[in-house]
Structure 1
Amino acid sequence: MKRFVYTLILFSIASFSVRGQDGIAGINFNAGFPVGSFQSEVGNQFFPSISLNYLHKLSNTPIYVGGEFGYMLYGTAVERSNNIINGTDQNFRIRRNNNAVNLSAVVRLMPDFGIGVKPFVEGQLGGIHTYTRSKVRENRLTEPLSSGTEVYDWSFLYQLGGGIMVPLEKKGDVFLELRVNYLQTGPMNFLTSRDALYDDLGSVTLNTRNAAFQLLSPSLAIKIML
């Protein structure tokens, strides 16, 4: 199923990449705010992310199609323990990052009203992979003594939203984009920054959660018309 979803996404993006049509490329800086039952699960955390996207305009239509790839950091925590290696009292630094990557196909409706500002609505459908990585170091400047992935999962995702593209100069090709999307996934296993608990012997207990991500995600972007 996982292979089928990602193959479908890549096929959709490739099939719409037709030469000779207008394109939009850019980078988005996103802020994710939990809502609904997901907020009840994780609290008022902040989920920053960055995404790259590319869209093609279908000939003689206001429809753009393409893809978006994103990375999200949904929690990080640093712990210190002197019980990592038996027989030593040295204090070790343990960093745990909660990450997610996503890939989705995008369809955007963006009519040109001839006023410079370009309003749009869009939808996305794709997949998301969450994973928690931990690294043990003597200090922040040394190479990791050990590292590994502790909890990981994947799910479908969809996003719905809209915004505006504002030209940064008259009749220019560079735009400032303001967008707000609602993001929804299926249930996944994941950790937050509060979910790793250490006892006096240095043993860690991971409180793995299972829930669907529900995020309201405003973003700021720089877009170039190609």
Structure 2
Amino acid sequence: MRRLIFTGIFLLCTSALHAQDILYGFQANAGIPVKELREKVGNIVFPEYTLVAFYSFPYRPIEVGLSIGYGIYGTKLEKRTDLYPGFSDEYRLRRNNNLLALMGVFRYNPEVSWRVQPFLEAQMGANYFYTRFKIRESRYYDPIEEGMDFDAWVMAFRFGGGIKIPFKNKDLGFFELKVLYHDSGPVDYLRRQDTEYQPDKGDGEFVYNPQRSTINMIQPGIGLILFSDYGRY
């Protein structure tokens, strides 16, 4: 999974640097649960750090692109002496709940005479929920054991809008503020409290209690976007 993320980052950055009419940048978003998701997870915030690249159609108020977002929405550390039968050494069991978002993006930029440019945005793609664990002797040691506990895919979409605030030199790029509504079909996922280790079962066994709901969130965000062909405007 890390290779997929880093490959996507490399492709986004290199394509942005060598293509005309390409915008690229970074966004930080916070997912605030609403509706069914809020009933399941309460006040958990879903952070998302996103790399984006857009193609801007010349002389048209339209941009299309791709975003790759990643965040950890829950983590749990246990120090246990019963992970391996016959051994009483203490080990650190770290479990992270991760969310990867792969989205196609469409933007419409209405023509205005203001310095600040509003835009409407729609996204469609997929969410990938996965939970990984690592067992170490201490935080400074390589993992003794690591793996995937759980994973699931679901189709998702987002829509909303925001504003672009140009840099002092507007040919370089802009800051952006936006708010999106995120929705999806029903999907299984784990919260930090949904995994239990039962040492008395065989040689020890993890028991999972996944939740299932649609993924409904309000996502405010801030971003920094650069033009790849300086001086185009």
Instruction: Give TM class, smaller chain.
Output: 0.7 to 0.9
**TM-score, scaled to structure 2:** 0.83
Matched to 1:98, the amino acid is: N
Is the Cα–Cα contact under 8 Å of residues 83 and 199 in structure 2 kept in the other structure? no
Alignment-derived partner of residue 79 in structure 2:
80
Is the Cα–Cα contact under 8 Å of residues 31 and 47 in structure 1 kept in the other structure? yes
Q: In structure 2, how many angstroms separate the alpha carbons of the residues matched to 1:158 and 1:124?
A: 5
Instruction: Name whichever of 20-29 and 129-138 sits farther off.
Output: 20-29
Offset of residue 198 of structure 1:
3.7
1:206 aligns with 2:205: no
Segments of structure 1 that go 5 or more residues without pairing to the other structure are 1-16
Segments of structure 2 that go 5 or more residues without pairing to the other structure are 1-15, 229-233
Instruction: Name whichever of 86-95 and 201-210 sits farther off.
Output: 201-210
RMSD of aligned Cα (Å): 2.1
| Equivalent position SS for 2:186 | strand
Instruction: Name whichever of 105-114 and 166-175 sits farther off.
Output: 166-175
Offset of residue 200 of structure 1:
6.5
Alignment-derived partner of residue 127 in structure 2:
128
Is the Cα–Cα contact under 8 Å of residues 95 and 134 in structure 1 kept in the other structure? yes
Is the Cα–Cα contact under 8 Å of residues 75 and 192 in structure 1 kept in the other structure? yes
Say if 1:87 and 1:22 are closer, same or farther in 2 by CA, change over 3 A. Answer: same
| Equivalent position SS for 1:38 | helix
Offset of residue 172 of structure 1:
4.0
| Equivalent position SS for 1:141 | coil
1:100 aligns with 2:121: no
Offset of residue 175 of structure 1:
1.2
| Equivalent position SS for 2:139 | coil
Offset of residue 155 of structure 1:
0.9
Matched to 2:141, the amino acid is: T
1:37-48 matches, cutoff 5 A = 37-48=36-47
Q: In structure 1, how many angstroms separate the alpha carbons of the residues matched to 2:19 and 2:71?
A: 33
Matched to 2:39, the amino acid is: S
Identity %: 33
Offset of residue 174 of structure 1:
2.6
Post-superposition Cα deviations, 1:107-156, rounded to whole Å, max 9, x if no partner, equal 10113424221110110011121110011111111111111111111011
| Equivalent position SS for 1:40 | helix
